[in-house]
Homo-oligomer: A and B are copies of this chain.
């Protein structure tokens, strides 16, 4: 293991260089949801390809129906073993609302956080910072040993934040090439807390749609037409209000049919984690869990489906009073899914639910943006065992097996299309403000993450 020690020492010595490369990556506003940033997405892909080539990878920009992907290969020390496939995404969420950022979202800034220095920027953790953890590990192996200790493949996509619409087709197109791998390594999840590493064993799925309601042929004066003309904003509120009952349960027919109850050992294991719900909510200024009544906190987060309005707009939103009845109303609505819930079936049910509630003169369109089935990954694979050893060695305590309320659609795609299981070894924290203004990543998380990845490569070299 003296080689690994040299690699870890090299990582510690390279902090400044790692930060410089990381900040270059963060300065690229690769917002996949916004067409205006399409060129920035490509720049981020090209930046990654250059980084990988510098450390001995053959790296290519591969076109997709949407933003390009980066695919890279490194034979390692020349063993014939099947490579590890590292997955990440270079795209980030929109930074809006800009005015709530304490520093510009695409000018990474070092600040003092609860546990020491943190980097504040859009993408600081999700997923550019997490990609940097394994990228830095591979560079350190390159610097010290001339190559990673095992064959490595890399796939970084640019559409994760919009639900990876092009990825399945891309995996199918390149299946022959990508299928030959031991497992997929993904760093896009959280630790249990700043001191306790974690492997995520389950991810909620997602279904996301936009509801567009149309009524009159134009905006109307609320005095001359009030009481006569259908108001699509009131109608939209009425329909959305009916999506939940008084106990917080989602009212789409059959919504809970494929939702398993959590019990026995799993529930006991989750209870033993001692989740501090009061602190979790307190960090965001809340005190009472929303959603369904009478659930244990971790069950609520990891094992129950949800329905949230992510955005709503229509009519006049300017200063003061405008007495108008709008012609259109719009809302973005998403569902988190668990068990065997089928995202497409959920969106079918949503569309039917909306259309059944339309009065005469109203018209509705339901646009579908993205969907991902829920995922449960095997907890007993050789690669998960190796990851747990690497994390235990790095943190001096056992990694816990957790769930995640979020979704990583590609994990299910890797299994379905390539037959590959994933190892979800992530280094984010609950207070990273992912998808929010002032997203941050603890510097300690990045460095320990890089060291953990260096260890994992050594574990899997044999």
Contact for A224 among B94, B330, B434, CB less than 8 A: B434
Please name 7 further chain A to chain B contacts, defined as beta carbons within 8 Å, in addition to the given A100-B218, A223-B406, sorted by A numbering: A33-B321, A94-B318, A227-B304, A234-B244, A240-B241, A288-B359, A310-B321
Q: Per-position contact with B for A86-102: 1 when CB-CB < 8 Å, else 0? A: 00000001101100100
Binds B, one of A108-116, A132-140, A279-287: A279-287
A336 cross-chain contacts in B, Cβ below 8 A: 222-223, 226-227
Q: Per-position contact with B for A329-342: 1 when CB-CB < 8 Å, else 0? A: 11110101000000
Given known A208-B321, A323-B435, contact A224–B430 (CB-CB < 8 A): yes
Q: Shortest Cβ distance from A282 into chain B, in angstroms?
A: 10
Report yes or no: A216 in contact with B323, Cβ–Cβ below 8 A. no
Alpha-carbon gap, A217 to B438, bound state (A):
12
Which residue, A224, A226, A237, has most C-beta atoms of chain B within 10 A? Answer: A226
In the complex, A355 has a CB within 8 A of chain B: no
Contact for A433 among B218, B311, B331, CB less than 8 A: B218
Q: How many A residues touch the partner, as a band?
A: 35 or more
Alpha-carbon gap, A290 to B307, bound state (A):
29
Q: Per-position contact with B for A61-101: 1 when CB-CB < 8 Å, else 0? A: 00000000000000000000000000000000110110010
In the complex, A186 has a CB within 8 A of chain B: no
Alpha-carbon gap, A216 to B285, bound state (A):
5
In the complex, A300 has a CB within 8 A of chain B: yes
Q: Per-position contact with B for A228-245: 1 when CB-CB < 8 Å, else 0? A: 111101101110111110
In the complex, A274 has a CB within 8 A of chain B: no
Report yes or no: A405 in contact with B227, Cβ–Cβ below 8 A. yes
Report yes or no: B325 in contact with A332, Cβ–Cβ below 8 A. no
In the complex, A312 has a CB within 8 A of chain B: yes
Which residue, A291, A311, A314, has most C-beta atoms of chain B within 10 A? Answer: A311
In the complex, A306 has a CB within 8 A of chain B: yes
Alpha-carbon gap, A33 to B324, bound state (A):
13
A300 cross-chain contacts in B, Cβ below 8 A: 227-228
Some 23 contacts from A to B, beta carbons below 8 A apart, are A32-B320, A33-B318, A33-B320, A34-B318, A100-B218, A161-B321, A204-B226, A208-B321, A215-B285, A221-B406, A221-B436, A222-B306, A224-B430, A226-B291, A227-B291, A227-B300, A228-B297, A228-B405, A229-B284, A233-B310, A237-B241, A311-B324, A312-B314
In the complex, A289 has a CB within 8 A of chain B: yes
Within 8 A of B (CB), among A156-172: 161-163
Within 8 A of B (CB), among A400-444: 404-407, 430, 433-438
Given known A216-B284, A222-B336, A237-B241, contact A231–B290 (CB-CB < 8 A): yes
A35 cross-chain contacts in B, Cβ below 8 A: 319
A161 cross-chain contacts in B, Cβ below 8 A: 321-322
Q: Shortest Cβ distance from A279 into chain B, in angstroms?
A: 12
Q: Shortest Cβ distance from A38 into chain B, in angstroms?
A: 12
